[in-house]
Copies of this chain bind each other. A is one copy, B any other.
Amino acid sequence: MNLPSFPHVDMFSAGINALYGVLLARQPSHNRGYTVAGLLIMAFFGGIGGGVSRDVLLGEIPAPIQDPMYPLVCVLMGLLGLAICRYHESKEEEFRTRTLAYFKSFSLPWFAILGAHKALDHNLGICAAILIGLIATTAGGVFIDLFSGVTPEVVRPSEQLVTTAVLASTVYTVLAVVVQGRLSFFQVTLIAVLVAFLFRVLAVKKHWPSIVPLVAPAAGPGVRA
């Protein structure tokens, strides 16, 4: 399949996910006394972690490494995140967690779509497109969670994070394959983002439960010490 590239969507996606990365890393659940340099690295994980993972799996030199605009956008959004944190530290935690969940709902479909798009572009088929979409969406957060010593959100109850990523990839993939040519790719992207965003906002608002077969604390080795 020969799909057009849309670098602006890619950059936009990197920017909002870099911002989310810093905000997440500054949460009490994740903060481990990070330095400013460390928080900018977290912005990189959020902003280009997904794209780099995707491109490595597809056997390409990662786009965020080839184009110096990506690191620049990540650093700027990282600094913006630090500024936001300075002004909102006073807000109660419940409020911030909630705001962050909604912000995450908006930022997460983009990487899913870009991942699915790139996989289709490599003629890897629908199944690989959804898989790469899921990996691209969650890889950045996995890096941040592992660095913070927290069980990655993707395997824990997390208000339909996995479902939303799979939904965004699937809607994009199916529309891209079915309506090929009748809708512009920007339209297909917007539809997929909208569907996934609304699904996730509802999941956060209504507290849709995840299916957990055996409840255990999301704790690490500390409990075994």
Which of A's residues lie within 8 Å of B, judged by CB? 26, 28-29, 31-39, 41-42, 52, 56-62, 65-66, 68, 71-72, 82, 85-86, 89, 119, 122, 124-128, 131-132, 146-152, 154-158, 162-163, 210-225
Contact = CB atoms under 8 A, between A and B. Distances in A.
19 contacts: A28-B216, A32-B156, A34-B213, A35-B157, A35-B158, A35-B212, A36-B213, A37-B163, A37-B211, A38-B155, A41-B155, A52-B57, A56-B56, A58-B61, A59-B59, A68-B126, A85-B213, A146-B146, A220-B222
Given A151-B148, A214-B89, A219 B39 contact: no
Contacts of A86: 213
B149 A155 contact: no
B155 A42 contact: yes
Contacts of A132: 65
A61 B128 CA distance: 11
B214 A26 contact: yes
B214 A225 contact: no
A154 B25 CA distance: 14
A138 to B, nearest CB: 9
Contacts of A157: 33, 35
Contacts of A28: 216
Given A31-B216, A36-B212, A218-B221, 20 more contacts: A32-B151, A32-B220, A34-B155, A34-B156, A34-B212, A35-B212, A37-B162, A38-B156, A52-B57, A56-B57, A57-B61, A59-B60, A66-B124, A147-B155, A149-B149, A149-B219, A217-B225, A219-B225, A220-B222, A221-B221
Contact of A33 (B37, B218, B220): B218
Contacts of A85: 213-214
Given A42-B155, A65-B132, A221 B219 contact: yes
Contacts of A36: 210-213
B219 A224 contact: yes
